[in-house]
Amino acid sequence: MDPVSAAFDATPRRDFLPRAGRRRASYDGPLGIAAGQTNSQPRTVDDILRLLDVHPGQRVLDVGSGSGWTTALLAHLVGPAGSVLGVELEPELVAFGSANLARTARPWATIRQASPDVLGDPAGAPYDRILVSAMADSLPRVLVDQLGDDGVLVVPVDGTMLRVGNPGAVVTEHGHYRFVPLR
C-alpha cells in the first residue's frame, strides 16, 4: 500500500468530526466543523498530500489545521523521526483539533494557536513541507520564505492548487479547488 493510502487507513476521518457529523464521514465533500470552517473533502486531501510528497523524518507545517485531521495524516507520513506543527486561528478549533490529535498517539505532532498577524511559523522555519488548507488570494511569499532547501509548499490560490518547489520557487498548477479563505 502506498504511504498516503496507509495514512488514510490509520487516520479515520470520523475521528476528527464533531459527534453529530460522524455519520457523514464517508461523504466525499467538505463537512462543517466549527467557527465557519470545514473538514476538507477526502479526495481533495488525498490530492494535496500526494502533491506535497511527504517523507519520513521531515519537518512539516500545517497551516489551517482545523479539526486536526490533516495534521494527523501528516504525522503518520513523517513518522516519529519527523515533526508536524499545525497552526490554527480559531481557538475553538485549536482545542478540538488538539484533542483529536492527542487520541492518535502521535506526539511528534502538535497544534497551536496561530497569531492573526503572522502567517505560518517564521520563527520555526525552515520546513521541508508546508500545507495550506485555506484559499489565498495570491501566492503567500511569507510561506515560500519558510521553505527549506528542496522544500515544497502546496497552497490553493484564487481557485487553483499550486505546488511551489524550492529552490527558486518553481510553481506548478494542479487543478481547481474551493477552500475557506486564508486569513
Phi, psi for 28 (deg, rounded to 5): -90, 65
**Joined grid coordinates for residue 44:** 481533495
Amino acid type, 11: T
Between CA 71 and CA 109 the distance in angstroms is 7
Q: Exactly one of 5, 40, 83, 138 is catalytic; name it.
A: 40
Is 40 in the active site?
A: yes
63 CB contacts (<8 Å, ≥6 apart)?
A: 87, 114, 119, 120, 130, 131, 132, 133, 134, 143, 182
Contacts of 138 (CB under 8 A, 6+ apart): 157, 158
Q: Return the active site residues.
A: 40
